[in-house]
């Protein structure tokens, strides 16, 4: 088992969406519930923070900054100026859903799912509490999958021809055939079922095509081979890991975000939950793909 380092950042209510930017040699990550984009420098330990006006569900690097799906819609943040530009409204009812777990496919297209998180009792109803995975282009949104309860675990195989997508409360990870030329999917199938914790959260794929899944509430990462067989379990010093991502110059470090929102406020300061973690990977990961057109 690798040694796990707890990095010197403030604890996050819901840390998520780590993404390594090779150009800046820094890690982007978010806190969705105390909404902010963070940028961590492993060389200095400095963690910069940009506060957001609403829930933030993911981040994807761009040449000038980051693509950010907020509750209020899709935005782009210019990291050099701090300007936050509105791009498109959310593809779902923002009173009832938040965008959750998004990233770019191998061609730079941005995909994002959703999670039922009503603003208040008045927004709770008998209407469906599930939503599909969407793809964004300049022309708008396209639904790709059947609705899921909580969209997570979005990742692609090294050749870009298999897409993975998890539904956390259903405890399943699905695989799809993926057309890198068009971004279309087909042939949905069960890849793995997870009975630990509260289910599979965010994920990443390494150079050998193995799928790394953070098990929320299970305190571990699970590594599945390309056929969906569990290859190893890596225990972590946090109960609520949310997503792994490969980074550093050789993509040989796994960074893991975590949450502490389920802890009583008085216990958060003394626990590693909510921190960023880092460990050596058994094999390097795949480069983070930037969002095209920004």
Active site residues: 201
Q: Is 187 annotated as a binding residue?
A: no
Alpha-carbon distance 110 to 137, whole Å?
A: 8
Residue 211 tokens, joined: 């799928």
Alpha-carbon distance 212 to 265, whole Å?
A: 30
Q: Is 48 annotated as a binding residue?
A: no
Q: CA-based diameter of the chain, in Å?
A: 50
The order of strands in the sheet holding 15-21 is 15-21, 26-31, 36-40, 47-51
Residue 266: partners with Cβ closer than 8 Å, 6 or more residues away: none
End-to-end Cα, the chain, rounded Å: 40
Q: Is 152 annotated as a binding residue?
A: yes
Residue 146: partners with Cβ closer than 8 Å, 6 or more residues away: 132, 188
Q: Is 14 annotated as a binding residue?
A: no
User: Residues comprising the binding site for a divalent metal cation?
Assistant: 16, 152, 201
User: Residues comprising the binding site for substrate?
Assistant: 100
User: Residues comprising the binding site?
Assistant: 16, 100, 152, 201
């Amino acid at each position: 088992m690798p040694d796990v380092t707890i990095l010197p950042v403030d604890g996050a209510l819901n840390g998520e969406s780590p993404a390594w930017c090779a150009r800046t040699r820094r890690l982007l990550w978010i806190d969705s519930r105390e909404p902010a984009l963070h940028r961590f420098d492993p060389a200095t330990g400095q963690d910069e923070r940009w506060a957001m006006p609403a829930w933030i569900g993911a981040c994807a690097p761009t040449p000038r900054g980051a693509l950010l799906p907020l509750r209020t819609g899709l935005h782009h943040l210019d990291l050099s100026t701090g300007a936050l530009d509105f791009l498109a409204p959310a593809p779902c009812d923002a009173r009832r859903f938040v965008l959750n777990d998004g990233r770019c496919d191998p061609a730079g297209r941005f995909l994002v799912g959703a999670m039922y998180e009503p603003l208040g009792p008045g927004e709770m109803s008998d209407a469906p509490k599930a939503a599909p995975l969407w793809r964004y282009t300049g022309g708008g949104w396209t639904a790709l999958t059947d609705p899921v309860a909580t969209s997570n675990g979005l990742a692609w195989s090294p050749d870009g021809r298999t897409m993975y997508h998890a539904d956390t409360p259903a405890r399943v990870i699905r695989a799809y055939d993926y057309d890198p030329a068009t971004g279309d999917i087909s042939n949905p199938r069960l890849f793995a079922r997870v009975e630990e914790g509260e289910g599979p959260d965010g994920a990443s794929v390494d150079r050998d095509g193995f799928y790394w899944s953070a098990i929320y509430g299970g305190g571990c990462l699970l590594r599945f081979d390309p056929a969906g067989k569990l290859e190893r379990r890596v225990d972590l010093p946090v109960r609520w890991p949310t997503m792994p991502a490969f980074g550093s110059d050789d993509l040989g470090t796994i960074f893991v975000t975590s949450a502490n929102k389920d802890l009583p406020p008085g216990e958060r300061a003394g626990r590693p939950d909510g921190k960023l973690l880092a460990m050596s990977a058994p094999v390097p990961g795949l480069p983070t793909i930037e969002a095209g057109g920004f």
